[in-house]
């Protein structure tokens, strides 16, 4: 489907559009009673080792051997030397036709930009490389499925001040920039990020700060964008200082993919600013174990030493991380980097993302195969951001099989069932559930 910058986004799904494949996960059993995900044979051969040995973690200048170590570690150099055109990419490898067409249209939808550091992680020989799928545009981005929206989370309707989203009573989302170090092809805010669609985003810092000051119910401010860590140190220091001066703001959170796209930005000076304005929490955004490199590990270490608790938000992406092996490897690596896997997002219904959107059931299958099978800290919460602004809804495999007046019947990660009395210090229930169950000791902890 062709697309012109002057035309509105197409609203219908063309016959040949690529959409989520709903046949890939098979469910067995009565879905209204208890959902059981079919278990395809899973090999746990590590994609990469999550061990601590330096040789297991990617590092180095890769294609940029000719560049001095000083330049390579300079985040300004990385930004200045970003790959931004099809011609630049094809100096290194040949794009597919779909990618070449995607590059042609990219700057009319969401800019194309990849830091040299992140570009090194692409497998040039693999058209389906999970890194490549995240940052190289494809023509499918110009197709819009009927269910897709320009503002899938309904943010624009909840902005009392440009750039400030106040949806939940006690917290706000403060969009402080529309720029990122690199651009993710499935970005929820592609309507405004990189300003390719003429949104003309201008965050009103002063108005936003005054709004927060005048709303004593706001105890938590999440800085996002774009990427807040692209702001210059002085500007960020000022903004954090203003926010910390508001008595009812208990803490600040930062959502950033900079540690993954541009770990060089996590300088000692930046860490000092973050330490100064503590408590600051940070959510980073890694989707695939290959993104956990030695440079990222060291950047996370600097943040952790500055007292910044780290969580990770992944987006479930088709043929990037929508399988158990990949996600297991990712969450293990994150823990080694002292990053707690926090959310696994179902990809929002953003325009032109159908080719990257995985089936919701894949996400449930992944959680089913993590919970109980590995460390509890490693299991993120799978969520759907309800379309239109309903907020995050947790999506879980079903562990409660029956709720009776006297007891509930639960199952564990192995599928074994247990009856747990609802009586508190009373007699045992007289009519146990019809299901044959194994008694579990009260208060049993699964992991």
Contacts with ligand SF4, residue ranges (CB under 6 A): 180, 183-184, 187, 189, 193, 225-227, 257
Q: How many C-beta neighbours within 10 Å does residue 314 have? A: 25
Candidates 101, 138, 179, 189; catalytic one:
189
User: Known catalytic residue: 185?
Assistant: no
User: Known catalytic residue: 180?
Assistant: yes
CB 67 → ligand SF4: shortest distance, Å?
Answer: 24
- Alpha carbons 320 and 129: distance in angstroms, whole number: 8
Candidates 24, 108, 167, 235; catalytic one:
167
CB 189 → ligand SF4: shortest distance, Å?
Answer: 6
CB 257 → ligand SF4: shortest distance, Å?
Answer: 4
Neighbouring residues of 36: CB distance < 8 A, sequence distance ≥ 6: 27, 28, 29, 415
User: Known catalytic residue: 187?
Assistant: yes
CB 181 within 8 A of CB 193: no
CB 94 → ligand SF4: shortest distance, Å?
Answer: 25
Which residue, 111 or 172, is less far from ligand SF4 as judged by CB? 111
User: Known catalytic residue: 168?
Assistant: yes
Which residue, 193 or 273, is less far from ligand SF4 as judged by CB? 193
Which residue, 286 or 379, is less far from ligand SF4 as judged by CB? 286
The per-type count for the chain, helices as H runs and strands as E runs, is 13, 15
CB 176 → ligand SF4: shortest distance, Å?
Answer: 11
User: Known catalytic residue: 184?
Assistant: yes
Candidates 171, 219, 302, 401; catalytic one:
171
CB 183 → ligand SF4: shortest distance, Å?
Answer: 4
Distance set, CA 135 to CA 14, 128, 186, 342 (Å): 24, 12, 9, 23
Candidates 151, 237, 322, 385; catalytic one:
385
CB 297 → ligand SF4: shortest distance, Å?
Answer: 19
Candidates 100, 108, 235, 392; catalytic one:
392
- Alpha carbons 409 and 433: distance in angstroms, whole number: 8
| Strand 417-421 to 407-411 pairing | antiparallel
- Alpha carbons 167 and 152: distance in angstroms, whole number: 14
Candidates 9, 168, 238, 399; catalytic one:
168
Candidates 184, 271, 300, 347; catalytic one:
184
Which residue, 332 or 355, is less far from ligand SF4 as judged by CB? 355
Which stretch of DSSP H or E encloses residue 326? helix 324-336
Sign, CA dihedral 356-361-362-368, equals positive
- Alpha carbons 412 and 10: distance in angstroms, whole number: 46
- Phi, psi angle pair for 327, to nearest 5°: -65, -35
Neighbouring residues of 283: CB distance < 8 A, sequence distance ≥ 6: 253, 254, 255, 256, 310, 311, 312, 313, 342, 343
Alpha helix segments (H runs only) across 184-293: 205-213, 233-244, 258-261, 268-276
Candidates 129, 153, 187, 347; catalytic one:
187
CB 321 → ligand SF4: shortest distance, Å?
Answer: 14
Q: Residue 40, by phi and psi: left (phi above 0), alpha (psi -120 to 50) or beta?
A: beta
For residues 272, 275, 281, 282, the Cα torsion angle rounded to the nearest 10 degrees is 10
Which residue, 266 or 437, is less far from ligand SF4 as judged by CB? 266
User: Known catalytic residue: 323?
Assistant: no
**What is the secondary structure of 339-384 as a DSSP string?**
EEEEEEEEPP-BTT-GGGBPPHHHHHHHHHHHBTTB-GGG-PEEEE
List of E strands, 141-299: 164-165, 171-175, 220-224, 251-255, 280-284
Sign, CA dihedral 287-288-293-298, equals positive
Which residue, 116 or 226, is less far from ligand SF4 as judged by CB? 226
Which residue, 20 or 225, is less far from ligand SF4 as judged by CB? 225
Which residue, 236 or 324, is less far from ligand SF4 as judged by CB? 236
Instruction: Give the active site residues.
Output: 167-168, 171, 180, 184, 187, 189, 348, 385, 392
């Amino acid at each position: 489907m062709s697309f012109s910058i002057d035309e509105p986004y197409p609203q219908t799904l063309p016959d040949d559009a690529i959409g989520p494949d709903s046949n890939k996960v098979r469910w067995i059993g009565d879905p209204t009673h208890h959902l059981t995900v079919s278990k395809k044979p899973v090999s746990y051969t590590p994609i990469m080792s999550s061990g601590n040995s330096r040789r297991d973690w990617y590092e180095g200048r890769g294609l940029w051997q000719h560049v001095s170590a000083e330049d390579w570690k300079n985040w300004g150099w990385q930004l200045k030397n970003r790959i931004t055109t099809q011609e630049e990419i094809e100096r290194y490898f040949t794009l597919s036709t779909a990618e070449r067409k995607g590059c042609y249209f990219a700057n009319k939808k969401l800019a194309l930009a990849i830091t040299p550091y992140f570009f090194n992680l692409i497998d040039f020989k693999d058209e389906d490389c999970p890194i490549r799928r995240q940052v190289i545009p494809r023509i499918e981005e110009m197709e819009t499925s009927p269910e897709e929206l320009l503002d899938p989370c309904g943010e624009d309707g909840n902005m009392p001040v440009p750039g400030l989203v106040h949806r939940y009573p006690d917290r706000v989302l403060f969009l402080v920039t529309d720029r990122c170090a690199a651009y993710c092809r499935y970005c929820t805010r592609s309507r405004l990020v990189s300003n390719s669609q003429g949104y003309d985003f201008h965050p009103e810092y002063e108005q936003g700060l005054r709004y927060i000051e005048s709303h004593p119910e706001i105890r938590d401010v999440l800085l996002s964008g774009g990427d807040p860590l692209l702001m210059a140190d002085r500007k960020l220091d000022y903004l954090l200082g203003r926010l910390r001066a508001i008595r009812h703001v208990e803490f600040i959170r930062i959502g950033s993919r900079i540690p993954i796209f541009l770990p060089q930005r996590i300088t000692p000076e930046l860490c000092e600013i973050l330490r100064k304005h503590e408590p600051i929490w940070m959510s980073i955004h890694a989707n695939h174990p290959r993104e956990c490199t030695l440079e990222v590990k060291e950047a996370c270490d600097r943040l952790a030493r500055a007292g910044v608790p780290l969580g990770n938000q992944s987006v479930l992406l088709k043929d990037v991380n929508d399988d158990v092996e990949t996600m297991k490897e990712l969450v293990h690596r994150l823990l080694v980097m002292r990053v707690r896997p926090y959310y696994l997002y179902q990809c929002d219904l953003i325009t032109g993302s159908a080719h990257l959107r995985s089936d919701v059931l894949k996400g449930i299958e992944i959680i089913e195969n993590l919970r109980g099978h590995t460390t509890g800290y490693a299991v993120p919460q799978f969520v759907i951001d309800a379309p239109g602004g309903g907020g995050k809804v947790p999506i879980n495999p079903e562990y409660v099989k029956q709720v009776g007046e006297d007891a509930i019947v639960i199952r564990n990660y192995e599928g074994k069932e247990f009856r747990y009395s609802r009586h508190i210090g009373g007699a045992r229930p007289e009519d146990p559930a019809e299901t044959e169950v194994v008694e579990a000791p009260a208060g049993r902890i699964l992991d």
